[in-house]
Every structure is written in structure tokens, then in C-alpha cells.
Chain A
Amino acid sequence: MRWLREHLVALVGGVVLVYLFVPIFLVVLMSFNDPATRNVYKFDGFTFDNWLHPCADPAMCDSLALSVEIGLLATLVATVIGTLAAFALVRWDFAGRSQSNLLIFLPMAAPEIVMGSSLLTLFVQGGFAGQLGFMTIFIAHVMFCLSFVIVTVRSRLAGMDDTLEQAASDLYATPAQTFWRVTFPLVLPGIFGAALLSFSLSFDDFIITNLNSGSEVTFPMYVWGVARVGLPMQVNVVGTLMLVVSLVIVLSGEINARRRARALT
């Protein structure tokens, strides 16, 4: 009883953590499901078919390819221009700095449906109603990823000790050398994290994309479309793969950080 009282909080905390994994467990399980019918979604039998034939529905793989393409492009652009802005905000003092911070904060605080419908209104008013598609999705994704990139890189930069840079310049490194040999490698993990976040935001977005995509279909839109008629089990394969890939990336980052921390001490 006493033990229970002392560990109650940790116990409930553990239960909450397990709860977070309940649907994920199901996604992994269902990726090995051999469904009897397409409408009734139940575990009927074990099979590797879904993994061996991921593109049984070519429309799913097309949507996946589109999502990856947009995700990579939007991440590239958002990460580059976001990193530039983060440097300006941390390292420079300029008129309009606090207004810029506000401008960056607002997209993170605005509901997606409002951003999506206002962007659609702009495109329609600008006469692009017929041209909704790849370009408009790309524009929207860079827009909502930018703030997250800036905030992530900014916090990495702000938390950085500048003694190493001072040491470099004391040792007669030119500003360019200091930047590329000292500053940039130190900020790189932050930039990498920002890119990862940006890709997953872009890859997973539904509400804004659904309003601005015209006839293009991204992966979340494909899932939305088939949700009513019965989901192909391959969707769960994609879900599992996303989980595995991100786990590998996150854990290798964690291991790297531990190894570096150990090397420093």
C-alpha cells in the first residue's frame, strides 16, 4: 500500500505513455493483416502480402510520391530561408526585430483551417482558382513550416556558448572561417532537427492542403478519401514505415549526442 502511494504518480504516468502507443501498436499489427473483406476492418489473418506488395493500389503510391516530393522541396526552402532569418534574429540588432518575432509567432498560433481558407481566398482573388495544385501546396507548406524552422534554429543559436567563436577569432580566424569551421557545425544539429520537424509537418498536413490542392492528392488526402470505402492495409505499412524511419533518425541522434557528451568529459 505504501509502495503504491509512493509510486502512484509514476504508475499513472507510465499508463499514459502506454496509452500513447495503443493505436500505434494497432497500426503495426494491421500492416500484417489479411482482411476478409475491405469494408469490415478486423484482424483476420497474418500475412506479409501488404509489405511485399505495398503498391497494390497505385493511387496510394502516387499520393505517397507526391507527399515526399512536396515534403522535401518545402523542407529545403523553409529550412534555408528560416535558418537565415534565425541568424538575423539572434545575431543582429535591427529596427523591426520585435515585429518580426511577432510575425513568426502568429502562424504557429493561428488555427489551420483559418490559414487554409484565407490562403485559398487569396489564390481565388488572384485569379489562380484554376491553377491550384503542386505549386499552391508547396507555397502553403513552406509558409506553415517556416515559423517552426525559425523557432527551432533560433533556440539552438540562442543557447550556444559564444566562447568558441571568440577563441577562433582570437586565433586569427577570418569571420568566414569562424563561421564555417565553428559556428555552422555547432548550429547544424538544430538545423537538422528543424528540417526533420518541417518534413513531418509537411508530410502530415491535411487541413490546409485539402483546401489548396486542386485535383492533386497527397498521402493524407488519399487516406481521407479511402477512409469511407475501406482502407487498404498498405496504409498501415506506410504508417509503420514512417514510425520506423523516424525512430531510427531520432535514436541515432540521441546515441550520437550521448557519445559526443561522453567524449567531451
Chain B
Amino acid sequence: MADAGRRRGLTAYLLMAPAVVWLGLFFVIPFYSLVAASLYDPGGSDKNGWDMTYHLANYWTAIENYWQPLVRSLLYGLAATLICLVLGYVLAYTIAFKAGRWKSLMLVLVIVPFFTSFLVRTLSWQLILADDGWVVDTLQFLHVLGSDDKLLATDFAVVMGLSYNFLPFMVLPLFASIDKIDPRLIEASSDLYSNPFVGFFKVTWPLSLPGVVSGTLLTFIPAAGDYINAELLGNADTTVIGKVIQLQATTANHPHIAAALSMMLMFLIVAMVLVYVRRVGTEELL
């Protein structure tokens, strides 16, 4: 008799065990370590050890000193996600509906640039946006930029770098959703005299929502935690929370502050994601 449905038995646990143990030891338990570290007595040091005094005030200290980078990271993440959504939607739509037999080739082309190193790519943008580069020269010549204005080391460069680097995370889920839409539905809407804009917002957009939700989350979460773009394309005033955590955990040697900031970043992201998912109301997330 053929196998119908799923098998039962202990074998499944043996197969699962290595992966679950690895994730348990090195993903779940570290999270508890982080919670614990965020409540250390701030008077400790690596030499004398860290006492656990359930010092909740660490969170207050962390907010007081670093609320700016924290807010800035979330804003950068939001801006980059919005830009990615617009660019990614057009690209995904083109691949799904206009590419014809070039569909799979175009999909490959979306991923290919991301096989070169993340850092090398970002440094390449540094070169493109440089003060004496041709982009800035051209924009100055066209008077889009004043003669003293620049692109590199600005908020603009950081957001641009983020939206460039995380674009595939937006395009791929969007494509998966848009590709499933039956083009006859869109034709039907135009047969019924809806103009293309109404047709898009009443038919295509709602049907692509699952892709929009997973794409925006896949872009926002890494973009909010990233500090490579802010450091390489920004300036001293674009410090983001990722960099602060990195410094506090290593050079500054304040594990309690690093832990408290990590917890808050995590908490803020989860809160924003929950509100967002509830408002958009999709259940196809997992």
C-alpha cells in the first residue's frame, strides 16, 4: 500500500534533534543570556565580574543616551522599505507580466548582483556618490545640487545604500505573489471600464498583499539592524543602533547596555511588525 499522508514515529525526533539542539543552544539560550545581561549591575567589569542585581534602570540609561540612533535606525529602515516597495513592485510586476519567456532569466538577474560581497557593493556606491564623482558633478551642473551640496556622507546616501542592498528581499516575495495573479482578472476590470489606476488598486494590489507584507518585513528587519550602510555611506551624525550595540558589546565593554539596546530594538521591531500585520490583516505570513 502506498504511503498516505505523514508517517508517525520516533524517527522524526532523531531527524529533528541535531537542528533543534543547535538552534536551542546557539539561538534560544543566547537570548536568555541577553535578557540576563541587560539586568546586570552596571558597576561590574570583565575583571571583577558582573553581578546580577536585576538592574532594570539599564534600560533607562540606554534610552537616555541612545534614543537618537534607535529612532534613526527605525526611520532609515522605514524609508528604505518604502523605496524598495515602489522600485521592487515595478520590477516584480514587469517580470511577472511583461517578461514573457525572459521571466526566469530576469529573476536570475535580480539575484546575481548580490553574489558579490555586501561590503564591496556598498563601497562601490561610496565611489559612485563621491564628492568629485560624475554623479555629483552632473547634478551640480544641472543645478539639482548646489555647488557645495554632496551626496556621500548624507542621510540620502544611507537610505539609498540600504534600499539598494535589500531590494532582492522585496522583489522575490512580491514576484511570488504577483506571478500567481490571473491576468484575466485585470483584463476583466478594464473590460468593465475601470481605468488602469482603479484597476490596479482594486485588483492587482489587494491580490499581491501577501507578497507586500512578507517583502516589507524581509526588508525592514535587516535594514533596521544594519550598520554597514550607515558607517560606509553616512557621517558621524548618521550613527545607527547597530553600530552602538557593536561598540558597547566590544570596545566600550558595556554588555548590559548592549543587551538592553538589543532587547529594545527587538521589542520595537516585533511591536511594529505586529501592528502592521494586524492592520494589513494577512494570515499567509508563515
Contacts and interface: CB of A to CB of B under 8 A. Distances in A.
Interface of A: 9-10, 12-14, 16-17, 19-24, 26-27, 30, 41, 81-82, 84-85, 87-89, 91-94, 100-107, 109-115, 117-122, 124-125, 129, 139-140, 142-143, 146-147, 150, 162, 165-166, 169-170, 200, 203-204, 206-207, 210-211, 219-220, 223-224, 227, 231, 235-236, 238-240, 242-243, 245-247, 250-251, 254
Contacts of A139: 26
B262 interface: yes
Contact of A112 (B6, B116, B225): B225
A-side interface mostly: helix
Nearest to A245: B115
B221 A109 contact: yes
A13 B116 contact: no
Interface of B: 2-3, 5-9, 11-13, 15-16, 18-20, 22-24, 26-31, 33-34, 36-37, 46, 87-88, 90-91, 93-95, 98, 104-106, 108-113, 115-121, 123-128, 130, 164, 167, 217, 221-222, 224-228, 232, 241-242, 245-246, 249-250, 255, 258-259, 262, 265-266, 269, 286
Given A21-B113, A250-B108, 12 more contacts: A16-B88, A88-B11, A92-B12, A103-B28, A113-B265, A114-B34, A114-B266, A117-B249, A121-B249, A122-B30, A238-B117, A245-B115
A111 B110 contact: no
B12 to A, nearest CB: 3
B161 to A, nearest CB: 10
B13 A20 contact: no
Contacts of A170: 2
B27 A143 contact: yes
A27 B16 contact: no
Contact of A92 (B11, B33, B95): B11
A91 B7 contact: yes
Contacts of B259: 117-118, 121
